Amino acid sequence: MITLNKKAKKRIAGRLALGMVKAKEVLKAKKNKLSKEIEIIAKNYVLQNKTNKKINKLLCSLLYWAEGEKNSSAVVFINSNPLMIKCFLTLFRSSFKLDEKKFRALVHVHEYHNEINIKKYWSKITNVPISQFSRSYLKPHTKIIIREGYKGTISVRYYDYKIALELGFIYNRFAENLTQ
């Protein structure tokens, strides 16, 4: 057995630390490269299927299944993520012939929100005029956490029982077909 002096042990420890740093850099570079490759594949996939009305309707129904309010005589979609709301409404509007006057919106806000600014924000995201917004729902607040930049939650409603029923049938038939 060879015994190393302090200088040798320190040198080995330094080289080990340097090796770990370099290994992390190599792994990070590999991960970034893979991420970019997958991003290109995903972008191409989306571009190829963007205008497919059947896929859009299916995706719309799946989003509705995940975030929509079921057992209603209307299509009701609730979320606090503006991108999710935009995606759903883009798919919804491209999948059905709609009367924009049938849209209603309800925002859920805390007392620290500026209600008018929140309605303007969501109106811009949804393309639903503020005149079609209901009175806001004031959520009870524990005053423990104030989320900076949080714009509340929005419930977008479209009053058409037939469309709500169709979305429900589409996601149910899709799930049944997939799992058989």
pTM confidence score: 0.75
Q: How many of the other CB atoms lie within 10 Å of CB of 101?
A: 9
CATH says 53-179 is which class?
A: alpha beta
Each of the 180 residues of the chain gets a pLDDT tens digit; together they read 888 898 988 888 888 888 988 999 988 888 988 888 888 888 777 777 666 888 899 999 999 999 999 877 899 999 999 999 999 999 999 999 999 999 999 998 767 667 888 889 999 999 999 999 988 766 766 666 666 766 778 999 999 999 999 999 999 999 999 998
Q: Distance (Å, rounded) from C-alpha 76 to C-alpha 63?
A: 11
Q: What is the pLDDT of residue 40?
A: 84
**What burial letters (b/e) apply to 120-149, b meaning 16+ CB within 10 Å?**
ebbbebbebeeebbeebeeeeeeeeeeeee
Task: Output phi, psi for 133, to 5 deg.
Answer: -90, 140
Q: What is the pLDDT of residue 88?
A: 97
Q: Distance (Å, rounded) from C-alpha 75 to C-alpha 63?
A: 12
Q: Where are the domains of the chain?
A: 1-50, 53-179
Residue at 52: amino acid letter: N
Q: What is the pLDDT of residue 155?
A: 93
Annotate the chain with three-state secondary structure. Answer: CCCCCHHHHHHHHHHHHHHHHHHHHHHHHHHHHHHHHHHHHHHHHHHHHCCCHHHHHHHHHHHHHHHEECCCCCEEEEECCHHHHHHHHHHHHHHCCCCHHHEEEEEEECCCCCHHHHHHHHHHHHCCCHHHECCCEECCCCCCCCCCCCCCEEEEEECCHHHHHHHHHHHHHHHHHHHC
